[in-house]
Chain A
């Protein structure tokens, strides 16, 4: 995910300083990896260098001095372009799960690959149950539910893949070691 585009999007509501941006990010994208402050300031620095944001003021409410940033016209254009662009659907098959199965067949053999698939399946199932509990808990926000939905759909797809791959381990093993 592109942190710089998300920050541009958050700034479209009006100028904000780094601390506010970090908080807005973590609140709006629940269950995403929280942004580190350092990452926010480094990204703002790059965006400023590229003319996509500019400093819009200093504010010092009892605390340390803080710089607010605002979108520039170029930043607004950049954001609109990103929002309209379709992400390439599964351009490359890149998955640690897939790579691990193949390498396991090469390096260790069919039973190691099978053991791994079974263990991974159990871990996925546990996580699926945790995320489903988020949805049934009653005090989850709509953002929490939509975030959980996204992860659940992907875990479910992985689980289908893990189960069918278990059925194909023997064929795959023959092919990899031919």
Chain B
């Protein structure tokens, strides 16, 4: 499998506190990779660095074999709008916009026409079972409904990579499962790669492969517990 996205020797600190201490990672095209480990192991920081949201202190992140650290902020921001989709634990929808407007937003930012964007938004909302909430404001939806809208928004541009940070952490078991299953289906159909950050083995099991972190480095035991070292 060809690597679509690679991180090599990634280092990142917050002030004096190191979060990543030399991580090497490869994500293949269409591959679903879970990044696991206990709280504070650096898994969310890794996701943010791979997605180009955070800059690394040392090392490089390459997408289609180009070092995105060398790109301008506007070029990286364009990359995030078109090739990457990002999904967090709490949907982070824009509260003043309806579900359809939220989902259409990345398309409008990427230059799509209003009608076309609205059409795609409705399609993706339907796909995640919230088609009839298209004209609803986020404040009037349940947490599960908001998260389904957020997934639709993350996938509406048909990104090459979806970055999902504890995407089902705030959902009940069944809703979380439906959301994950749908993400897997979309990824398989469209060849989307997925970086799935989670601390739960049950969620990591949706991935093709699991990478465990401990204290900012890869944990070869796969346990993320510092055993046997």
Chain A residues in contact with chain B, CB under 8 A? 114, 118, 121-122, 125, 128-129, 131-132, 135-136, 138, 152, 156, 159, 163, 166-167
Contact = CB atoms under 8 A, between A and B. Distances in A.
A132 B227 contact: no
Interface stretch (B102-110, B139-147, B148-156, B198-206): B198-206
A122 B221 CA distance: 9
B190 to A, nearest CB: 15
Interface in B139-185: 177, 180-181, 184-185
Contacts of A129: 205, 207
A122 B228 CA distance: 15
Interface hub of B184, B206, B223 (most chain A Cβ within 10 A): B223
Contact of B222 (A125, A136, A138, A152): A125
B26 interface: no
B177 A118 contact: no
A166 B201 contact: no
Contacts of A125: 201, 204-205, 210, 222
Nearest to B227: A166
B3 interface: no
B184 A118 contact: no
B225 interface: yes
Nearest to B206: A132
A168 to B, nearest CB: 11
Contacts, number: 44
Given A118-B227, A125-B222, A166-B223, A136 B206 contact: yes
Contacts of B228: 114, 118
B interface bracket (residues with beta carbon within 8 Å of A): 10 to 19
A128 B177 contact: no
Contacts of B221: 118
B205 A114 contact: no
Interface hub of B201, B206, B221, B228 (most chain A Cβ within 10 A): B201
A148 B177 CA distance: 13
Nearest to B228: A114
Contacts of A166: 223, 225, 227
Contacts of A118: 221-223, 227-228
6 contacts: A118-B222, A128-B201, A136-B180, A136-B184, A166-B223, A167-B225
B185 A121 contact: no
Interface string B194-229: 000000011011110010000000000111010110
Contacts of A122: 222
A17 to B, nearest CB: 39
A149 B202 CA distance: 11
B181 A121 contact: no
